[in-house]
C-alpha cells in the first residue's frame, strides 16, 4: 500500500536503484503486433535467452508506433543506454539477435529501424531525423502496461501526488487553462475551461467521463494509449476529479477493443490495491473510483451527449446542447467529458508546468497531436508530432512517402466529418484552425493517405455510406438528407450524373450542415464538399466524359485484351467469373456481359495485354 | 411492469447451464428498485448475454428486462440501436471484413464481393447451414495490415481475393 507521497517517492527511487540485467529487450505487443505474429517471436526470444542463460530481460510493451514493421523489438543496452530497434523480425533472426545483444553489438542481416522521435520531457530536442515529439506516447512502447512498477518508475502517479498535496483544485484548473491544452477528441475546446465550468457547479455528485469510443474508422491513437499506458489515463482522470470535485470516473470504451479493456481492468485493479485509486488516495482526503462502461458499435456514441445516454443504458441518441454536459451531464449531474489523448497530456503538464507545455506546438494549439497514419503510405503507424508540423513532413518524412512509388493524390483527416487535402496544400502547418480553413478538420487523428488509384467521388460515397449506417435517425436532415446525398453520389459513380447533380449536392450539403441536430449530421457533408472543392474535375470527368480517372467506378470501366496477348491462359484461369475465353497461344477475349470488372486479369497478366478503359 | 411469464424457466428450456450463467451475472450486479439506475447496467448485461448465448433471442430479452425491471420495448430498442447486438442466430464462424477507411482504400470492397460470391450469402447474413456469417466491421485497429479480415478471434492481414478460399478452408 502506497499511502503517502513520501512512500510514492521512495518507492520510485528504489525502483530506479534496482539492479537491471545487462540488456533489456522490449517486445511490441499491441493489437497490430499480435496480429502480425509477434507472440511466437516473443516465445522464441524467451526460449533462446533461457537456453543461453543470457543476462537479458524481456519486457512486453504496447505499440511502439511502428506498425509497418511489426514484429518490432528494441534491444536496450542498460550499461550504455544505447538501443537499437529491429523491425520485421523473423524466426531465423532470433538466435543472432540474442547472440549480438549479449555482446552489445548490432545484429547484421536484420532490419534496423531508425528512431524518429524525441522525448521533450527528457530535455531532448528535435533533429532533422527526429521530428516526432512523444508526450502522450512517452511510455507506450517503453513500459509493460500490466506492471504498475514500470509506470511508477516513469514518474507515475507523481502528478496526482503533486496536485493532492501541493495544489488547490483552482490551481490545477489554472495550470491547465494556462497550458492551452485543447480537446484532442476533435472539437479542440479548451480543456481547462471545461473543467472550470464543471467545478463552478454546485452538486452532490459530479462525474469524470473518458471518451474512449474512438469511432473514426482507420484511427487507433486512443487504442494505443490505453493498451500501452493505461495508468496515465487513470491518473489524469483522478486529477480531473480533484479539480472539479468529483469522486467517480467512468471510461466509455468500444467493444471492439478487447485488449485495451483487459489492460484497463488490470490497471484499475492494481491502482486500487496500492491505494492510488479508491478511498483516501495516497493518504489524502480525496477519494476517486473508476468504472468501465462498454460501447456496442455505434459511431454516434462518440458524440458526448449520445455517449452519456449510452452510459445511462439508453439508445445512444444525441440531444441538443445547451445544456452542456459540464452543467448537466450523466444522470443530470455536472460531467466533464474528455478524450483519452486529452487526458494523456494532463500528467505531463502538471509535472512540468504550463510554460514547458506551451513551448511545444503553436501559440493557438500548444502541445502535440497523435495521428494514426494509414492508407497508401509506406510506413503506416502512430505518429506524434508537435502542432505546427506540416503534412508533408508527416507523410513524406515520418511516413516515408507513398507505397509502390505511386503518385500522392490526397490526405484525408477528420474521418467521416473531415475532408481531403491536396498536394499543393501539404505545406500547411497543422493545427485546429489551419485544417478547418482547408475544409477539413483535425478530428481525432485519423490520417488516411490516398494515391492516384483512389477515386475521390468514390471516397466521398464511402464516407456517406458510413454516415448513413451510423446516423441514429433522430433528425430528418441527417436521416433522409444523407441518403439523398448518397444516392446522388451513386448516380455519378454509375455515370448517370448530370451537372445539375453537382449543384444539388452542394445545396443539399449546405442545408444538412445548417439544420442537423448533432455534430454527426452537421459534419457529414464535409467529405462531399471538400472533394467537390478540391477535385471537381474528377466529378466532371464522371459526368461529362463518363470516365473514372482512377479506374475505380466499375460501371464506367471496361477491360479488354489487346494484341500483346500471347495466349498464356493465366487470365482465364484466374478469372473469378470464368468469362475469359480463348485457347492456348491464341488471343483471349472477355465476355463483357459476364465481366464483374474485378481487374484480376489485369493484375495477373505478365504481358500488359489487358487494358482498362 | 415486467412480463408476467416466468422468464427464467423459459430461458432454461433453451439451455439450463446458460440460463444459470446469465442469472449468476445478473445477480452479481448492484441492482436496486431505481429503474433509471438499473438501466445503466443494461448494455453490459446484454454484452454478457450475447457472449453466453451468441445472440439475443426474445426469451433472453424478456429475462433481462424482467431482472432489470425494464420494459421489453426498452431492451429491444437498445438491441436494435447498437450494431454489436443481434437477435438473429449467427454462424459458428463469424467472418468480419473490416470496412474502415484504411481497409477501404486498400480494396476491402473487393474482398466483400469475393466473400459474398464464394459463400453465396450477403453481408449481414448467415448461411443456411449455420456455419458462416458474413459481417462488416469498422476498424479493428490493425490498419497497418489493411485490408483486414477477422474470423472469430483470428486476424488475417493484407488479404487478397485469392486468399478467400484459404481463409474459408481454415474454418474447420
Ligand atoms: C459524430 C461525433 C463523433 C465523435 N466521436 C468521438 C470519438 O470517437 N472520440 C472522442 O474522444 N470524441 C468524439 N467526439 C467529440 C465528443 O463529442 C467530445 O467533444 C469530446 O469527447 C470531448 O473531449 P475533448 O474536449 O477532450 O476532445 C465526437 C463528436 C461527434 C459529433
Ligand atoms: S481500417 Fe481496417 S483495421 Fe483499421
Which residues of B, range 59-98, sit inside 8 Å of A by Cβ? 77-78, 81-85
What chain A residue is nearest to B43 in terms of C-alpha separation? Answer: A313
What is the three-class DSSP state of A447?
A: strand
Query: What range does the domain containing B150 cover?
Result: 93-170
Task: Compute the CA torsion angle A541, A544, A546, A548 (nearest 10 deg).
Answer: 10
Q: Which of A203, A252, A188 is nearest to A226 (CA)?
A: A252
CB-based contacts of A106, cutoff 8 Å, min separation 6: A84, A100, A112
CB-based contacts of A538, cutoff 8 Å, min separation 6: A455, A456, A457, A531, A549, A550
- Angle between helical axes of A230-244 and A158-166 (0-180°, round to 10): 10
Return the bridge partners of A282, or none. Answer: none
Q: Which of A408, A466, A450 is nearest to A552 (CA)?
A: A450
Structure-block grid coordinates of residue A442: 483535425
Is the CB of A294 inside 8 Å of chain B's CB atoms? yes
Residues B23 and B75 placed together within one structural domain of the fold: yes
- The answer to whether A267 touches A237, Cβ cutoff 8 Å, is no
Write out pLDDT tens, residues A123-154: 999 999 999 999 999 999 999 999 999 999 99
Tell me: pLDDT of B70 over 50.
yes
The phi and psi torsions of A173 (rounded to 5 degrees) equal -60, -45
pLDDT at residue B4 in the model: 57
Quote the distance between the C-alpha of residue A50 and its chain's center: 37
Dihedral sign from CA coordinates of A294, A297, A298, A302: positive
- Chain B residues whose CB is inside 8 A of the A311 CB are 40
CB-based contacts of A13, cutoff 8 Å, min separation 6: none
Element (H, E) at A421: strand A419-422
Tell me: pLDDT of A31 over 90.
no
Record: contact B101-A67, CB cut-off 8 A: no
Dihedral sign from CA coordinates of A528, A533, A535, A536: positive
Q: Which one of B36, B38, B101 has the shortest CB-CB distance to A412?
A: B101
Write out pLDDT tens, residues B132-141: 999 998 888 7
What is the three-class DSSP state of A80?
A: coil
What chain A residue is nearest to B86 in terms of C-alpha separation? Answer: A296
- The answer to whether B71 touches B1, Cβ cutoff 8 Å, is yes
Fold of the CATH domain A19-113: Glutaredoxin (3.40.30)
Judge whether B124 lies within some domain. Answer: yes
- Angle between helical axes of B58-68 and B72-81 (0-180°, round to 10): 120
Number of H helices, E strands in chain A: 25, 20
Judge whether B87 lies within some domain. Answer: no
Mean pLDDT, rounded, of chain B:
91
Residues B51 and B116 placed together within one structural domain of the fold: no
- The answer to whether B122 touches B83, Cβ cutoff 8 Å, is no
- The answer to whether A169 touches A238, Cβ cutoff 8 Å, is no
Residues A82-87: what's their mean pLDDT?
93
Q: Is the pTM of this model over 0.90?
A: yes
Specify the ligand 1 atom closest to the Cα of A307. Answer: 17
Judge whether B1 lies within some domain. Answer: no
Domains of chain A, residue spans = 19-113, 148-357, 368-451, 456-544, 558-612
CB-based contacts of A10, cutoff 8 Å, min separation 6: none
Ligand 1 contact via A65 beta carbon (within 6 Å):
no
Q: Which of B39, B55, B81 is the last residue of a domain?
A: B81
- The answer to whether A210 touches A343, Cβ cutoff 8 Å, is yes
Structure ipTM: 0.91
Residues B40 and B99 placed together within one structural domain of the fold: no
Residues B14-33: what's their mean pLDDT?
93
Report the separation in Å between the CA atom of B61 and the middle of ligand 2, taken as the mean of its atom positions: 32
Judge whether B66 lies within some domain. Answer: yes
Tell me if domain A148-357 and domain A558-612 are identical in fold: no
- The answer to whether A261 touches A253, Cβ cutoff 8 Å, is yes
Residues B127 and B76 placed together within one structural domain of the fold: no
Tell me: pLDDT of B169 over 70.
yes
- Quickly tell me which residue has 481531403 as its cell: A420
**Prior bond of A387 cis (ω within 30°):** no
- The answer to whether A233 touches A210, Cβ cutoff 8 Å, is yes
What chain B residue is nearest to A474 in terms of C-alpha separation? Answer: B81
What chain B residue is nearest to A553 in terms of C-alpha separation? Answer: B109
Quote the distance between the C-alpha of residue B65 and its chain's center: 19
Is the CB of A264 inside 8 Å of chain B's CB atoms? no
pLDDT at residue B1 in the model: 47
Distance CA A292, CA A115 (A): 35
The phi and psi torsions of B33 (rounded to 5 degrees) equal -85, -5
Structure-block grid coordinates of residue B51: 457472449
Q: Which of B48, B81, B114 is the last residue of a domain?
A: B81
Tell me: pLDDT of A439 over 80.
yes
* Least trusted range by pLDDT, from A101-105, A179-183, A399-403, A425-429: A101-105
Q: Which of B75, B14, B57 is nearest to A296 (CA)?
A: B75
- The bound ligand whose nearest atom lies closest to the alpha carbon of A467 is 1
- The answer to whether A199 touches A325, Cβ cutoff 8 Å, is no
pLDDT at residue A3 in the model: 92
- Chain A residues whose CB is inside 8 A of the B46 CB are 296
DSSP state at residue A428 = P
Record: contact B103-A312, CB cut-off 8 A: no
Which residues of B, range 104-143, sit inside 8 Å of A by Cβ? 104-106, 110, 113-114, 117, 137-143
- Span A456-544: which CATH code? 1.20.1440.230
Number of A–B residue contacts, CB under 8 Å: 141
Residues B105 and B77 placed together within one structural domain of the fold: no
Distance CA B153, CA A532 (A): 40
pLDDT at residue B5 in the model: 67
Q: Does domain A148-357 have CATH number 3.40.50.11540?
A: yes
Give the end-to-end CA distance of chain B in Å, rounded to a whole number.
46
Distance CA A571, CA A579 (A): 10
Judge whether B40 lies within some domain. Answer: yes
Where b means 16+ CB within 10 Å and e means fewer, A583-597 reads eeeeebebeeeebeb
How much of chain B is in helix, strand and coil states, percent to nearest 5?
50, 10, 40
* Region of A216 on the Ramachandran plot (φ > 0 left; ψ -120 to 50 alpha; else beta): beta
Dihedral sign from CA coordinates of A521, A522, A526, A529: positive
Residues B150 and B125 placed together within one structural domain of the fold: yes
Mean pLDDT, rounded, of chain A:
94
Record: contact B143-A374, CB cut-off 8 A: yes
pLDDT at residue A216 in the model: 87
Q: Which of A303, A315, A387 is nearest to A135 (CA)?
A: A387
Residues A426-445: what's their mean pLDDT?
92
Write out pLDDT tens, residues A276-317: 999 999 999 999 999 999 999 889 999 999 999 999 999 999
Q: Which of B81, B110, B130 is the last residue of a domain?
A: B81
Record: contact B101-A415, CB cut-off 8 A: yes
Write out pLDDT tens, residues A233-255: 999 999 999 999 999 999 999 88
Q: Which of A227, A231, A226 is nearest to A148 (CA)?
A: A231
Q: Which of B56, B117, B143 would you mutate first to test chain A, the one with the most A CBs within 10 A?
A: B143
The radius of gyration of chain A from alpha carbons, rounded to an integer in Å, stands at 27
Distance CA A16, CA A21 (A): 13
DSSP state at residue B126 = B
- The bound ligand whose nearest atom lies closest to the alpha carbon of B137 is 2
- The answer to whether A376 touches A402, Cβ cutoff 8 Å, is yes
CA distances from A428 to A389, A400, A424, A431, A516 (A): 8, 18, 9, 9, 30
- Angle between helical axes of A526-534 and A499-515 (0-180°, round to 10): 140
Residues A167-172: what's their mean pLDDT?
98
CA distances from B137 to A93, A218, A466, B98 (A): 35, 11, 11, 5
Fold of the CATH domain A368-451: Ubiquitin-like (UB roll) (3.10.20)
pLDDT at residue A35 in the model: 86
Residues B110-123: what's their mean pLDDT?
92
* Least trusted range by pLDDT, from A43-57, A291-305, A592-606, B68-82: A592-606
Structure-block grid coordinates of residue A276: 492510488
Q: Please, what is the Cα angle at A202 between A201 and A208, to 5 degrees?
A: 60
Q: Which of A435, A431, A523, A438 is nearest to A477 (CA)?
A: A523
Residues B8-16: what's their mean pLDDT?
87
Judge whether B88 lies within some domain. Answer: no
How many structural domains is chain B composed of?
2
Residues B13-33: what's their mean pLDDT?
93
- Quickly tell me which residue has 491505494 as its cell: A275
Q: Which of A354, A370, A334, A347 is nearest to A237 (CA)?
A: A347
Quote the distance between the C-alpha of residue A72 and its chain's center: 19
pLDDT at residue B141 in the model: 79
Q: Which of A257, A276, A124 is nearest to A138 (CA)?
A: A124
Return the bridge partners of A384, or none. Answer: A370
Give the end-to-end CA distance of chain A in Å, rounded to a whole number.
71
Residues A41-59: what's their mean pLDDT?
94
Residues B12 and B60 placed together within one structural domain of the fold: yes
Percent of chain A's residues with pLDDT above 70: 100
Which of the following CATH numbers is that of domain A558-612: 3.40.190.10, 3.30.70.20, 3.40.140.10, 3.40.50.20? 3.30.70.20
Percent of chain B's residues with pLDDT above 90: 70
Judge whether B2 lies within some domain. Answer: no
The radius of gyration of chain B from alpha carbons, rounded to an integer in Å, stands at 19
Amino acid at each position: 500500500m502506497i499511502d503517502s507521497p513520501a512512500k510514492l517517492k521512495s518507492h520510485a527511487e528504489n525502483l530506479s536503484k534496482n539492479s537491471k540485467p545487462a540488456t533489456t529487450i522490449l517486445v511490441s505487443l499491441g493489437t497490430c503486433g499480435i496480429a502480425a505474429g509477434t507472440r511466437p517471436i516473443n516465445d522464441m526470444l524467451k526460449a533462446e535467452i533461457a537456453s543461453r542463460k543470457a543476462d537479458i530481460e524481456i519486457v512486453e510493451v504496447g505499440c511502439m508506433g511502428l506498425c509497418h514493421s511489426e514484429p518490432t523489438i528494441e534491444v536496450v543496452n542498460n550499461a550504455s543506454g544505447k538501443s537499437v530497434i529491429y523491425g520485421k523480425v523473423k524466426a531465423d533472426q532470433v538466435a543472432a539477435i540474442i547472440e549480438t545483444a549479449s555482446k552489445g553489438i548490432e545484429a547484421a542481416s536484420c532490419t534496423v529501424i531508425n528512431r524518429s522521435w524525441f522525448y521533450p520531457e527528457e530535455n531532448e530536442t528535435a533533429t532533422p531525423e527526429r521530428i516526432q515529439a512523444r508526450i502522450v506516447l512517452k511510455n507506450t512502447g517503453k513500459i509493460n502496461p500490466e506492471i504498475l512498477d514500470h509506470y511508477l518508475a516513469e514518474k507515475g502517479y507523481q502528478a496526482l501526488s503533486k496536485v493532492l498535496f501541493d495544489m488547490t483544485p483552482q490551481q490545477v484548473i489554472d495550470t491547465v487553462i494556462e497550458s492551452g491544452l485543447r480537446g484532442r477528441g476533435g472539437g479542440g475546446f479548451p480543456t481547462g475551461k471545461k473543467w472550470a465550468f464543471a467545478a463552478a457547479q454546485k452538486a452532490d455528485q459530479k462525474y469524470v467521463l473518458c471518451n474512449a469510443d474512438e469511432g473514426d474508422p482507420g484511427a487507433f491513437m486512443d487504442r494505443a494509449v490505453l493498451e500501452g499506458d493505461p495508468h496515465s489515463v487513470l491518473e489524469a482522470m483522478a486529477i480531473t476529479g480533484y479539480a472539479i470535485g468529483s469522486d467517480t470516473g467512468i471510461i466509455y470504451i468500444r467493444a471492439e477493443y478487447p485488449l485495451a479493456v483487459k489492460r484497463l481492468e488490470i490497471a484499475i485493479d492494481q491502482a486500487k490495491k496500492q491505494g492510488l485509486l479508491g478511498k483516501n488516495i495516497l493518504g489524502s482526503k480525496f477519494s476517486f473510483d473508476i468504472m468501465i462502461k462498454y460501447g456496442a458499435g455505434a459511431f454516434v456514441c462518440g458524440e458526448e451527449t449520445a455517449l452519456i445516454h449510452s452510459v445511462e443504458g439508453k439508445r445512444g441518441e444525441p440531444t441538443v446542447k445547451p445544456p452542456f454536459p459540464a452543467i448537466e451531464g450523466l444522470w443530470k449531474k455536472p460531467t466533464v467529458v474528455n478524450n483519452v489523448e486529452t487526458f494523456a497530456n494532463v500528467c505531463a503538464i502538471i509535472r512540468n508546468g504550463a510554460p514547458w507545455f506551451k513551448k511545444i506546438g503553436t501559440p493557438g494549439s500548444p502541445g502535440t497531436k497523435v495521428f494514426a497514419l494509414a492508407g497508401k503510405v509506406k510506413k503506416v503507424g502512430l505518429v506524434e508530432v508537435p502542432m505546427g508540423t506540416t503534412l508533408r513532413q508527416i507523410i513524406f518524412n515520418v511516413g516515408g512517402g507513398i507505397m509502390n512509388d505511386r503518385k500522392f493524390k490526397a490526405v484525408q483527416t477528420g474521418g467521416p466529418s473531415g475532408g481531403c487535402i491536396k498536394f499543393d496544400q501539404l505545406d500547411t502547418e497543422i493545427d485546429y484552425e489551419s485544417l478547418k480553413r482547408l475544409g477539413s478538420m483535425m478530428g481525432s487523428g485519423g490520417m488516411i493517405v490516398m494515391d492516384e488509384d483512389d477515386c475521390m467521388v468514390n471516397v466521398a460515397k464511402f464516407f456517406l455510406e458510413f454516415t448513413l449506417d451510423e446516423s441514429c435517425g433522430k433528425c430528418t436532415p441527417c436521416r433522409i438528407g444523407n441518403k439523398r446525398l448518397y444516392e446522388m453520389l451513386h448516380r455519378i459513380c454509375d455515370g448517370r450524373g448530370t451537372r445539375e447533380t453537382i449543384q444539388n449536392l452542394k445545396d443539399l450539403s449546405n442545408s444538412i450542415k445548417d439544420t442537423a441536430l448533432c455534430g454527426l449530421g452537421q459534419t457529414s457533408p464535409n467529405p462531399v464538399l471538400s472533394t467537390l472543392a478540391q477535385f471537381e474535375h474528377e466529378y466532371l470527368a464522371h459526368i461529362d466524359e463518363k470516365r473514372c480517372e482512377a479506374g475505380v467506378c466499375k460501371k464506367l470501366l471496361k477491360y479488354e485484351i489487346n494484341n500483346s496477348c500471347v495466349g498464356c491462359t493465366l487470365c482465364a484461369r484466374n478469372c473469378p467469373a470464368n468469362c475469359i475465353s480463348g485457347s492456348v497461344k491464341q488471343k483471349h477475349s472477355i465476355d463483357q456481359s459476364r465481366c464483374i470488372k474485378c481487374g484480376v486479369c489485369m493484375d495477373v497478366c505478365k504481358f500488359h495485354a489487358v487494358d482498362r478503359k | 411492469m415486467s412480463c408476467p411469464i416466468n422468464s427464467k424457466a423459459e430461458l432454461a428450456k433453451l439451455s439450463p447451464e446458460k440460463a444459470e450463467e446469465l442469472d449468476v451475472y445478473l445477480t452479481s450486479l448492484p441492482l436496486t428498485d431505481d429503474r433509471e439506475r438499473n438501466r445503466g447496467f443494461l448494455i453490459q448485461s446484454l454484452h454478457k448475454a450475447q457472449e453466453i448465448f451468441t445472440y439475443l433471442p426474445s426469451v433472453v430479452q424478456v429475462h433481462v428486462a424482467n431482472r432489470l425491471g425494464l420494459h421489453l420495448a426498452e431492451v429491444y430498442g437498445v438491441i436494435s440501436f447498437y450494431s454489436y447486438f443481434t437477435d438473429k442466430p449467427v454462424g459458428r464462424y463469424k467472418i468480419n471484413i473490416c470496412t474502415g477507411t484504411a481497409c477501404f482504400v486498400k480494396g476491402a470492397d473487393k474482398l466483400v464481393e469475393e466473400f459474398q460470391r464464394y459463400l453465396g450469402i450477403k453481408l449481414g447474413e448467415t448461411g443456411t447451414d449455420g456455419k458462416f456469417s458474413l459481417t462488416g466491421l469498422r476498424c479493428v485497429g490493425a490498419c497497418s495490415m489493411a485490408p483486414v479480415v477477422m474470423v472469430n478471434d483470428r486476424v488475417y492481414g493484407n488479404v487478397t481475393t485469392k486468399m478467400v478460399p484459404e481463409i474459408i478452408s481454415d474454418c474447420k
